[in-house]
Amino acid sequence: MSEPDILNERVELKVSDGTAMAGYVARPHDHGPHAGIIVLQEAFGVNSHIRHVAERLAQEGFVSIAPELFHRTAHGFEGDYMNFQPAMPHIRAMTAEGTEADLRAVFDWLRQAPGVSAIHSMGFCMGGRVSFLANSILPLQSAVSYYGGGIAPELLPRAAALKAPMLFFWGGRDKHIPPEQRHAVVDALSAAGKSFINVEFSEADHGFNCDERPSYHPRSAKLAWDLTLDFLNS
């Protein structure tokens, strides 16, 4: 069976602080209506993995856009999974105010796109954290976070502001996000009375969804993807 036709393009978005942000767009060939989804990058940029995620979502009927969150310091940055250091200056340069402005710009782009209805967010690693942030400021339909480092403790004060149900994925072997941080996220959302699903794959490590990483765990990745689609379509 052949895969559905999709269209892909690169667009430029104007951000409220006067900067320009590139985005990679993948969308179904027909005009919809379709849900929109913001695909939020890892620290390694809008690379082939993130573009592939956007394309997979387009094949499932979503209008997806992956914004370049490092656009202020490194337009077009694509890092090496075996060398994290080059990404560090760009991560440190990010601010809450700038990231919020980026999220509002990409949300507005989706809202104005022809045939787009409800809008979701989905992020990986650094982007998993940004997906949580997006859910605290945007009227999303739902949000997904894959191994979102830094949600706890930095963003937990925003738990009460979450607008939509949230799905979290964690790797039980992830040394980057220790159990106490994962538990803190669950406790904060429970205390705030928010709707969420929390999934931990005991055999998975950080980055388990990415088939370009040594930590790729196919079984966990497939289960997470199937649950993600069910969650987004519910």
**Cα dihedral: 98, 99, 105, 108 (round 10):** -140
Contacts for 105 with CB less than 8 Å, ≥ 6 apart: 13, 14, 15, 16, 21, 67
> Would residue 30 show up in a list of annotated catalytic residues for this protein?
no
Kindly state the tokens that stand for 197: 């699903």
Spot the catalytic one: 34, 71, 120, 206.
Answer: 206
3-class DSSP string for the chain:
CCCCCEEEEEEEEECCCCCEEEEEEEEECCCCCEEEEEEECECCECCHHHHHHHHHHHHCCCEEEEECCCCCCCCCCECECCECHHHHHHHHHCCHHHHHHHHHHHHHHHHHCCCEEEEEEEEECHHHHHHHHHHHHCCCCEEEEECCCCHHHHHHHHHHHCCCCEEEEEECCCCCCCHHHHHHHHHHHHHCCCCEEEEEECCCCCCCCCCCCCCCCHHHHHHHHHHHHHHHHC
Which residue in 174, 205, 210, 217 is the catalytic one?
174
Identify the active-site residue in 49, 90, 125, 205: 125
125 is catalytic: yes
Active site residue 205: no
Residues annotated as part of the active site? 125, 174, 206
